[in-house]
Amino acid sequence: MEEKNLNQIGVSFKGSGSYVPDQILTNQKISQKVDTSDEWIKSRTGISERRISSLGDNVTDMGYKAALNAIDNANWDVKTIDLIVLATSTPHDLFGSAPSIQAKLGASNAVAFDLTAACSGFLFALITASQFLKGGNFKRAVVIGADQLSSFVDWKDRRSCILFGDGAGALAIEATNEFDNFIGFDMRTDGKRGSFLNLPSKNKKDSIIDNIDFLSGSFSPIQMNGQEVYKFAVKEVPIILDKLFREKNYTSDQVDWLVLHQANQRILDSVGERLKIPREKILSNLEKYGNTSAATIPLMMDEAIRNQNIKQNDIIATSGFGAGLSWGAALIKWG
């Protein structure tokens, strides 16, 4: 680690990248597995299809490809990267997948670790990395959101299996002493409501030798109370964004783009309505990918940056929310 540079006062956004697996699971195909229909899924969620990982597409593979795209987009030499944070709830290795991504990238000067906060994960990781940069310890960071929830979905549960898909996205961010494009953020957790959305470990008792038990490790599929999660999102997300706007002396009409965690089109519409942000400013790609958990925000941002919707100096309000329950918001200027 190089000497601390206390003049680093701000963060700038230098590049984006993403990756999704090739396999497409349409609503029509899901209806061959569970009792549902394209019409039901589309009208309740806005989702038409999602991507499903196969061999060669685990979180390390997807995260690596998204990170490489972001690094190329930023035009960085991988050796100049100081920090890699991987937001995921579905690592390929429970000890952490970020180190494998660091090795695949050849980013040998970067410290790399995982961060778990479910669908708030990318936002929490972006905030975490920004604090390291503003603290003066690191200059360049790659923040990745990657998830493979298809491995943990109960494909017999029509109330939840329709929602999720796999993918990855990444942003390349840099410390600067000239300006700060990370305008502000807020983060919240309410563990008391945690039972609304879980991917819990299955504690199966076994014994090592006589009288010494242990709990073998595996996970139960995703358990979700959809209605409660829905109510939580449409209530808390506008509150946290509105509070952030007020704190930073912004009004919602100064926002160029609202980039919400892509959970459900009805949630996006409702948050937009409450904040009085018109539909054309609310970015959405969940029709194609569903809810890719920690990947949704960078996947959406990368698409909008590459098709030149998001331009230099655009103001982006973003919010992640989900299991924990956890939620957060950030206000940034692109560039």
Catalytic-role residue among 58, 69, 73, 261: 261
291 counts as binding ligand COA under rule CB under 6 A: yes
Q: Backbone phi, then psi, for 262, in 5-degree steps?
A: -85, 85
> What is the Cα–Cα distance from 284 to 263, expressed in whole angstroms?
10
> Binder to ligand COA among 18, 45, 73, 176 (CB under 6 A)?
45
Amino acid at the residue 262: Q
Region of 7 (left: φ > 0; alpha: ψ -120 to 50; beta: rest) is alpha
> Binder to ligand COA among 119, 146, 316, 331 (CB under 6 A)?
119
Q: Which is nearer to ligand COA, 143 or 263 (by Cβ)?
A: 263
159 counts as binding ligand COA under rule CB under 6 A: yes
Q: Which stretch binds ligand COA (CB under 6 A): 33-41, 70-78, 178-186, 301-309?
A: 33-41
Q: Is the sign of the CA dihedral 43, 45, 47, 52 positive or negative?
A: negative
Question: What is the C-alpha end-to-end distance of the chain, expressed in Å?
Answer: 26
> What is the Cα–Cα distance from 83 to 60, expressed in whole angstroms?
16
Residue 26 beta carbon to ligand COA: minimum distance, rounded to whole angstroms: 14
264 counts as binding ligand COA under rule CB under 6 A: yes
Q: Which is nearer to ligand COA, 28 or 227 (by Cβ)?
A: 227
Residue 307 beta carbon to ligand COA: minimum distance, rounded to whole angstroms: 25
219 counts as binding ligand COA under rule CB under 6 A: no
User: Active-site residue 119, yes or no?
Assistant: yes
> What is the Cα–Cα distance from 142 to 81, expressed in whole angstroms?
7
Q: Which stretch binds ligand COA (CB under 6 A): 41-49, 88-96, 101-109, 272-280?
A: 41-49
Structure-token pair, residue 252: 């919602």
Neighbouring C-beta atoms of residue 238, cutoff 10 Å: 21
Catalytic-role residue among 119, 161, 181, 264: 119
Query: Crossing angle for the helix pair 296-306 and 59-74, nearest 10 degrees?
Result: 40
Residue ranges in 54-113 that form contacts with ligand COA under rule CB under 6 A: none
Q: Which stretch binds ligand COA (CB under 6 A): 185-193, 204-212, 223-231, 242-250?
A: 223-231
248 counts as binding ligand COA under rule CB under 6 A: no
> Binder to ligand COA among 44, 104, 188, 306 (CB under 6 A)?
44
Separation in Å, CA 308 to CA 206, 302, 303, 305, 311? 56, 10, 8, 5, 6
Neighbouring C-beta atoms of residue 267, cutoff 10 Å: 22
User: Active-site residue 161, yes or no?
Assistant: no
* Contacts of 309 by beta carbon, 8 Å cutoff, 6+ apart: 257, 283
158 counts as binding ligand COA under rule CB under 6 A: yes
Q: Which stretch binds ligand COA (CB under 6 A): 71-79, 82-90, 154-162, 301-309?
A: 154-162
> Binder to ligand COA among 91, 322, 324, 328 (CB under 6 A)?
322
DSSP readout, 304-315?
HHHTTSS-TT-E
> What is the Cα–Cα distance from 232 to 319, expressed in whole angstroms?
13
Q: Which residues are catalytic?
A: 119, 261, 291
Q: Which residues bind ligand COA (CB under 6 A)?
A: 36, 40-41, 44-45, 119, 158-159, 162-163, 224, 226-227, 229-230, 263-264, 291, 322
